[in-house]
Amino acid sequence: MNNLSITWSPRVTLRRGVLALAVALTLAGATPAMAANFGHIKVVGDGVASSMTVDDLGHVHIVTGLDGGGLDYDTDASGHWTTQHIAGASALMPSVAVSGGKVYIAFARSGGAGQPGLGIRLLTNRTGSWTTTTITTGDDHWPSLRMRDGEYAIAYQDALGVRYASDLGGTHVDQRVWLRGTQLDMTDEHAPVSLALDAAGRPRVAFERQKGNGAPDGIGYARRVSGAWTRHRVASGTAPLDRIVVDGHDRARIGYGSSGRFRITTYTGDTKTTRTLPGSGFGTFTLDEHGYIQLLRVDEGTDHVTLLRQKADGWHTTTWSDKQPRDPAVRADAGTAWVVYDRCCGGDPGQTVIRVRH
């Protein structure tokens, strides 16, 4: 299993909540459209889950943002859920990855209300306690982290576009991926960035483009070839980015919203194809071990959560209900989908974590 981080949409309003674990959740009234095995259903933490990954042993790792309170780390790696408070109020926009059984979290450091950011930091428990390394010191946002053999690769937004920093292969680089040429809108609603690595460790980056006035300008895709970056336009207009994944054939697959539908554009070299997935509304995707798409949709208005799983014989759908679900993520491997989303406002707020098996 590849350790690919799943990052939530940044278009969320963080809220403070209790730090203790909540009790187990039973999904009363769940209405699956197909037979599915819901296992280990839990509600953990509070605040808004900002990033999640699943390691090679099937352990879930979640970083939660707390309104004005920094970051919490939730995991079931010990056999039961635990929570640690790992960073203070200046830590924002986390991205989590696991390498060699150790946890790594990239985050942007805030300079305070109305002030420029103070760069990207890399937090890890590699030595047994949490330590922090400075990666950049500028007004940098939205890091997307991947790890390979204990070495980092991070794509991030700076004031003029998108950059890429890494120490893969023992060589430190910080390169320009995309240049807007004018100051970007650096508010929380803008410019998500997503990074993936191919089998050889070469970076692929998807990002939301902006016009000079800060208006949305579609999705961009960049890949590094022989040390130089080649760029492509994936979509135009308003197109919220989900994330990028590299499949087993080294093809980049980029998920995003467009006109109320969820689309995936696939790049084979410089050639692209685009498909529109079933249903409507916000979604997030991943690929299973066979390269099949797993699409998770939430509808806060109807309290419905829907998991669509692509199979050789078509799409299989499972739908259930929960309280105002939002900000979903999904990960899949070996016949299991790990589903995480924020459940809002009343009852047991927090992140609902579910394993769904065939």
pLDDT digits (tens, 9 = 90+) for 329-344: 999 988 899 999 888 7
pTM of the model: 0.88
What mean pLDDT comes out for the span 300-308? 90
Residue 114, pLDDT score: 81
Contact 230, 181 (CB under 8 A): no
State the DSSP code for 57: T
What gap in Å lies between CA 105 and CA 320, rounded to an integer? Answer: 31
CA dist 66 → 14, 27, 45 (Å): 6, 25, 10
Contact 197, 236 (CB under 8 A): no
Percentage above 90 pLDDT, the chain: 62
What mean pLDDT comes out for the span 47-57? 87
Higher pLDDT, 240 or 19: 240
Task: Write out pLDDT tens, residues 182-194.
Answer: 666 655 544 589 9
Look at residues 110, 112, 132 and name the one whose alpha carbon lies nearest to residue 121: 132
Task: Write out pLDDT tens, residues 93-110.
Answer: 999 999 999 999 999 999
Higher pLDDT, 293 or 185: 293
Phi-psi region of 276 (alpha: psi -120 to 50; beta: other; left: phi over 0): beta
Look at residues 295, 217, 211, 306 and name the one whose alpha carbon lies nearest to residue 253: 295
Q: Where are the domains of the chain?
A: 6-357
Mean pLDDT (the chain) is: 84
CA dist 331 → 48, 78, 83, 272, 338 (Å): 18, 20, 21, 24, 5
CATH of domain 6-357: 2.130.10.10
Percentage above 70 pLDDT, the chain: 85
What gap in Å lies between CA 316 and CA 354, rounded to an integer? Answer: 17
Task: Write out pLDDT tens, residues 127-180.
Answer: 999 999 999 999 999 999 999 999 999 999 998 899 999 999 999 999 999 998
What mean pLDDT comes out for the span 239-255? 96
Phi-psi region of 269 (alpha: psi -120 to 50; beta: other; left: phi over 0): left
pLDDT tier, 7 (very low <50, low <70, confident <90, very high otherwise): very low
Sequence-distant (≥ 6) Cβ neighbours of residue 129 within 8 angstroms: none
Residue 265, pLDDT score: 98
Number of neighbouring beta carbons within 10 Å of residue 229: 16
Residue 31, pLDDT score: 39
Residue 297, pLDDT score: 93
Task: Write out pLDDT tens, residues 30-44.
Answer: 334 444 677 667 788
What gap in Å lies between CA 65 and CA 142, rounded to an integer? Answer: 13
What gap in Å lies between CA 24 and CA 19, rounded to an integer? Answer: 15
